Amino acid sequence: MGIIEKIKEIEFEMARTQKNKATEYHLGQLKAKIAKLRTQLLEPPKGSTGAGDGFEVTKFGHGRVALIGFPSVGKSTLLTLLTGTQSEAAAYEFTTLTCIPGIINYNDAKIQLLDLPGIIEGASEGKGRGRQVIAVAKSSDLVLMVLDASKSEGHRQILTRELEAVGLRLNKRPPQIYFKRKKTGGISFNSTMQLTHVDEKLCYQILHEYKIHNAEILFREDATVDDLIDVIEGNRKYIKCVYVYNKIDVIGIDDVDRLARQPNSIVISCNLKLNLDRLLARMWDEMGLVRVYTKPQGQQPDFSEPVVLSTDRGGCTVEDFCNHIHRSLLKDLKYVLVWGSSSKHYPQRCGTQHTLHDEDVVQIVKKKEKEEDGGRGRFKSHTTGPARISDREKKAPLKT
């Protein structure tokens, strides 16, 4: 029996099992079994290199956004409108057959937008190009789930289920469960609060299903058995998602209003170019990008090209900022001067752990500690990077 059949069989068994206190343990075990099979399903088949289907697009810019949706909802039309990159759009399904990248220039940052083939129910099991599409979604910083405003509202749930089946978690944060495998010592189970969804026995049973006999586990919130399985599997990807209802030109105003009020949703029309600026602003907010402008000493800040940092990825401390400019900058750094909303007064002297805000201006002040240290120190303080060091080294080699 194949993996998919096995999953189907367990799903069938779960469907006909009554949900009550007595079956709770059994159902939990079945959930763990499905999770294990789904993880197996995601492993590349034996003997394959996992490459070569043309879906791997090099990351570019300060963030990556994937357009995910059923066929013919308007993904390609949207990519063309937002990026200027032509992606064929037509009234028939599966017009797009591969991954088409475009670039959005917004707020002095560059965002990579990816158009993808439409996916259908069963995509997570390999129907259509589902698996490749979902792999691209996983590599993104934000998913735009494009939906046809005139079609069934059930589509949103179906797509979410498909993405969840392969370990994507949309608009969720990781469960607050500490879990660590051990070599010996059995299972230590603790919680900081009353648990209403799982108890110790259920927890042991799930761990047993994973053949884990030694581990430390601490619930920091009233988590569910699904959360526990997510933590044990450890391969879940937590991604923000905005639900984009397109084609509002063909529905009534009441429906537009209702869709627009749903959580994490935005309504647009590509045909009428309605609300696209709002969509961009929304994307920007969700991505948590932080622009930092550098200011050379005694000069105006350089407002043409910011250093773009991210709250979610990499962080936005002064340390992250320095590492972004040059790997070796941090060790020469004395402090930075900061102008902007992150500083208490203008300018504020800040250390490496200070968190920068969007549109801050930063001046770097380097150590000059070795200035009096003969020729050697002066040489060091006037150089900015390894390239220049080696250039100068040739002309005036360091005394050893």
Q: Which residues bind ligand GTP (CB under 6 A)?
A: 69, 71-77, 89-91, 93-96, 117-118, 246-247, 249-250, 269-271
- Least separation, in Å, of the C-beta of 162 and Mg ion? 18
List 80, 83, 96, 294, residue binding Mg ion (CB under 5 A): 96
Our CB check for ligand GTP shows the closer of 94 and 303 to be 94
- Least separation, in Å, of the C-beta of 79 and ligand GTP? 8
Our CB check for Mg ion shows the closer of 120 and 195 to be 120
How many residues make contact with Mg ion (CB under 5 A)? Answer: 4
Closest CA to 160 of 170, 171, 173: 170
Closest CA to 61 of 106, 1, 124, 98: 106
Closest CA to 66 of 295, 240, 299: 240
Reported residue count of the chain is 400
Q: Which residue is nearest to ligand GTP (CB)?
A: 118
**341 contacts 359 by C-beta, under 8 angstroms:** yes
Q: Which pair of tokens denotes residue 185?
A: 């010592």
Our CB check for ligand GTP shows the closer of 80 and 191 to be 80
User: What's phi and psi for 240, nearest 5 deg?
Assistant: -75, 150
List 28, 64, 72, 256, residue binding K ion (CB under 5 A): 72
- Least separation, in Å, of the C-beta of 87 and K ion? 10
**Binder of residue 73, out of ligand GTP, K ion, Mg ion, none (CB less than 5 to 8 A by kind):** ligand GTP
**118 contacts 129 by C-beta, under 8 angstroms:** no
Our CB check for K ion shows the closer of 45 and 92 to be 92
**Binder of residue 35, out of Mg ion, K ion, ligand GTP, none (CB less than 5 to 8 A by kind):** none
Q: State the Cα–Cα distance between residues 91 and 89, nearest whole angstrom.
A: 7
- Least separation, in Å, of the C-beta of 275 and ligand GTP? 10
**Is residue 95 a contact residue for K ion (CB under 5 A)?**
yes
Query: In the 3-class helix/strand/coil scheme, how is 268-302 assigned residue by residue?
Result: CECCCCECHHHHHHHHHHHHCEEEEEECCCCCCCC
Interface with Mg ion in residues 50-79 (CB under 5 A) = 75-76
- Least separation, in Å, of the C-beta of 92 and Mg ion? 10
Q: Which pair of tokens denotes residue 265?
A: 């949703």
Query: In the 3-class helix/strand/coil scheme, how is 143-161 assigned residue by residue?
Result: EEEEEECCCCCHHHHHHHH
**Binder of residue 270, out of ligand GTP, K ion, Mg ion, none (CB less than 5 to 8 A by kind):** ligand GTP
Our CB check for K ion shows the closer of 95 and 214 to be 95
Other Cβ atoms less than 10 A from the Cβ of 214: the count is 14
Residues near Mg ion (CB under 5 A): 75-76, 95-96
Residues near K ion (CB under 5 A): 72, 95
